[in-house]
Amino acid sequence: MSPRERVIRALQHKPVEVVPYNVGMTFPARRKMAEFYGDPNFETKLGNCLASSPSIRIEYGKRDADGFYVDDYGTRWNRQIDEDIGNPAPCLTPETMDKFRWPDPKAPGRFDGLKKARQKYPDRFLLMSVDFSLFERAWVLAGMEEFMVAMAADRGFAGALLDRILEVNLGMVREGLGQCPEADGVIFGDDFGTQLGLMMGPELWRELLKPRLARQYAAVRERGKKVFIHSCGKVDEIFDDLVEIGLDCFNPFQPEVIDVFATKERYRGRLAFYGGISTQQLLPYGSPNEVREKVAELIERLGKSGGYIASPAHAIPGDAPAENIHAMIEVLKGQRPG
């Protein structure tokens, strides 16, 4: 069974002998592991089951000589300290929205990376990624404080901005899956949570975000593809809503804020999960033996029955010891059919 077939089976909530997995790293962690293994190409040997390619140019890690980077929306990101993502500078206001230049889903070459990823990884489950997709894109453009206030006090602006972003996203889905029908699904990046709960609360989420997310998900499902979302934090209070509007798989499934075992059982057969390996506690502060034991437990209790893709809850940060990362990889790669 290929890695892609294992992912498909897991998403169908069917038992798997070898649990699919995917390991992503920040640039500091990647450099650390390349040195640890003495191999700059070590990632090609991890056995990852997923591949992805962005539809909207974000190019994590890229920066100009001054340490800044400008993305497809015209947002300027300060990557002088955080080289992976950085901090964005707001570039849109209610007064400038009508004149704002929006990304063109039909721009030449936009989906070349997606097509190349399919060719490069023919045996992996391929996701088209829409990073900073809706709520995140809105606050990146308008500013976090400004958009959060608008959600509560200026619904006209908040709704209009979300609708314009939604229009771009729907175009990306339509064009991307049209040009690369071999893709298996779409992953939307949209952090809604803090460590304590939804940033905007469930009422505003259901009013302003849920109906628009439903349209995004429907556009993917209408094309016979799977819907993934990456949403950090404690957002399990909206899992029923996400299932209702068509989500297939939730990431990152943070064990620090979500009871991964109880939640997996509650949503058995309805929602798959991708993540679950702690990047806040286990990988940076555990011992290699603790890492091996915990990852093996996650594989056995969450993965064997299907509905789970094992993975660090986030791209592994640079503070995780190489020995711990290696211990996790050993367990993931060392699985054998029973």
Residue 19's pLDDT is 97
- Tokens 């450099």, residue? 31
Residue 258's pLDDT is 96
Token reading at 27? 């640039």
Report how far residue 206's alpha carbon sits from residue 89's, in angstroms, rounded to the nearest whole number.
27
Beta strands in 79-121 (DSSP E): 87-89
93: closest CA among 158, 166, 167?
A: 158
Residue 327's pLDDT is 98
CA of 213: how far to CAs of 66, 96, 178, 229, 315, in Å? 36, 25, 20, 10, 24
Residue 121's pLDDT is 97
The radius of gyration of the chain's CA atoms, rounded to the nearest angstrom, is 20
pLDDT tens track for 226-269: 999 999 999 999 999 999 999 999 999 999 999 999 999 999 99
Residue 84's pLDDT is 85
Regions of the chain where pLDDT drops below 70: 338
CATH classification code of 3-333:
3.20.20.210
* Cβ partners under 8 Å of residue 107, min gap 6: none
- Tokens 């109880």, residue? 262
CB atoms within 10 A of CB 7: 27
Half-sphere exposure of 302 (CA within 13 A, CB side): 29
Residue 57's pLDDT is 79
The three-state secondary structure class of 195 is coil
Token reading at 104? 């063109």
CA of 311: how far to CAs of 154, 224, 251, 256, in Å? 39, 25, 9, 15
